[in-house]
Structure 1
Amino acid sequence: MSSLSKIVFVTGNKNKLAEVQQILSGTIQVESHKVDLPEYQGTTQEIAKKKCQLAAEMLNGPCITEDTCLCFKAMNGMPGPYIKWFLDANGPEGLVKMLQGFDDFSAYALCTFAYCEGPGHEAIVFEGTTDGKIVPPRGPRTFGWDCVFQPDGFDQTYAEMSKEIKNTISHRFRSIETLKAHLSQL
């Protein structure tokens, strides 16, 4: 059992916080703290490590950070870590339009959590993916690109699913499961 009873999740996104708290419920207490971190460029792992290490220094203690990507296979994984900016600029319909002219609407959702035990420590990265496809928007538009991502094996988008189902199949769930295993060893 972990000697760590609570962890700070560096996020200002209430939807992400609620998902993480639900998935980690009964394992570790999750508190949120919003920290203004730079938007780094690079691979998902490089971005996650830099952000988490900086957050641990700013908070002077252990923390986790999270980055989510939506990766189109037809575009060799783009927009990837830049999905937030593509979504802000074009909306969900624009994400679908980006794939016009391609025969491949397959995609994968990638979640990268990083954990850093404090200032001066290296961040450790935990990733999870869910394969699916990009579809015209369906369901509530309250959580990023969930309304255009339909996981393989399901006829609903993330946005149409109950939180209970989504939180057992999502990229975030898969990433958190590997993080949870690491935290239980501390």
Structure 2
Amino acid sequence: MLYFATGNINKVKEAEIILKDIKIQQINIKYPEIQGSLEEVAEFGAKYVYNIIKKPVIVEDSGFFVEALNGFPGPYSRYVQETIGNEGILKLLEDKDNRNAYFKCVIGYCDENGVKLFSGIIRGKVSEEIRGEHGFAYDSIFIPEGESRTFAEMSREEKSRISHRKLAFDKLREFLKRGKYEI
């Protein structure tokens, strides 16, 4: 059993699709989200939760980075989403030609041997408008490279085949298999 400390059921559902061969149990343990890089947040959170439950646990932190905005919102993506939302990001990009952006995911895994970090990045661009019904956060304004649709216009399964989380979770799966983790 691998515990996933998050209150976000969308992240759990995506992880279950990606890690279909690993049993995941969501636990809703709040941990202080320190100000820092995605790596610092994931490492701190994984250690914090592991010290409470003493069982293998993962935490995940993601960020949305827009080139024309010097990487904003980056590690502050959740706060920015809650305050200005996708409409605010589109407004900030109104006069910008460069719409390049990327999602980055960092998974912190902690067990009795300490913390390991696994990351994934998917590049793309910010759409001109909000599009799509599926997904959450910035999914309705992000078009991955090689696609004409936003993440929110894709099914959960389609997104889960190419997402930043997929890339990070694939690395985690390989690590767990090498360590003969019970899957």
Give TM-score, length-normalised by structure 1: 0.91
Aligned to 1:65: 59
> 1:15 is matched with which residue?
10
Q: Which residue of 1 aligns with 2:43?
A: 49
Within 2, Cα distance between the matches of 1:100 and 1:156? 20
Partner of 2:116: 124
Deviation at residue 74 of structure 1 after TM alignment: 1.7
For residue 177 of structure 2, what is the aligned residue in structure 1? Answer: 184
Uncovered stretches (5+) of structure 2, i.e. residues with no partner: none
Q: Which residue of 1 aligns with 2:142?
A: 149
Deviates more, 1:29-38 or 1:132-141: 132-141
Q: Does 1:36 align with 2:30?
A: yes
1:46 is displaced (CA, Å) by 1.2
TM-score (norm 2): 0.92
Query: Residues 69-148 of structure 1: matches in 2 within 5 Å?
Result: 69-118=63-112, 121-135=113-127, 136-140=129-133, 143-148=136-141
Say if 2:134 and 2:151, in contact at 8 Å, map to a contact too. Answer: no
**Cα deviation code 1:135-186 (max 9, x no counterpart):** 1110126511110111011011001001221111100000100011001112
Q: Matched residues in 2 for 1:75 and 1:93: separation?
A: 15
Opposite residue 154 of structure 1, the aligned amino acid is E
In the TM superposition, 1:164-175 aligns within 5 A as: 164-175=157-168
CA distance in 2: counterparts of 1:137 and 1:128, whole angstroms: 24
Segments of structure 1 that go 5 or more residues without pairing to the other structure are: 1-5
The code of the aligned residue for 1:20 comes to A
Counterpart amino acid of residue 171 in structure 2: T
Secondary structure of 1:184's aligned partner: helix
Give the Cα separation in 1 of the matches to 2:24 and 2:134: 25
Does 73-82 or 122-131 show the bigger shift? 73-82
Give the 4+ runs in structure 1 shifted more than 3 A. none
- Do 2:134 and 2:155's aligned partners in 1 also have CA atoms closer than 8 Å? no
User: Which residue of structure 2 lines up, in the alignment, with residue 160 of structure 1?
Assistant: 153
**Deviation at 1:79?**
1.1
Q: Deviations over 1:38-96 (max 9, x none)?
A: 12111111111111110111112210000111001123322111011111001211121
Deviates more, 1:132-141 or 1:167-176: 132-141
**Equivalent pairs, count:** 178
Is the contact between residue 120 and residue 166 of structure 2 (CA under 8 Å) also seen in structure 1? yes
1:175 partner SS: helix
Distance 1:19 1:160 in 2: 15
Further displaced range: 108-117 or 98-107: 98-107
Give the secondary-structure state (helix, strand or coil) at the position aligned to 2:4.
Answer: strand
Query: Aligned partners of 1:17 and 1:71: how far apart in 2?
Result: 22
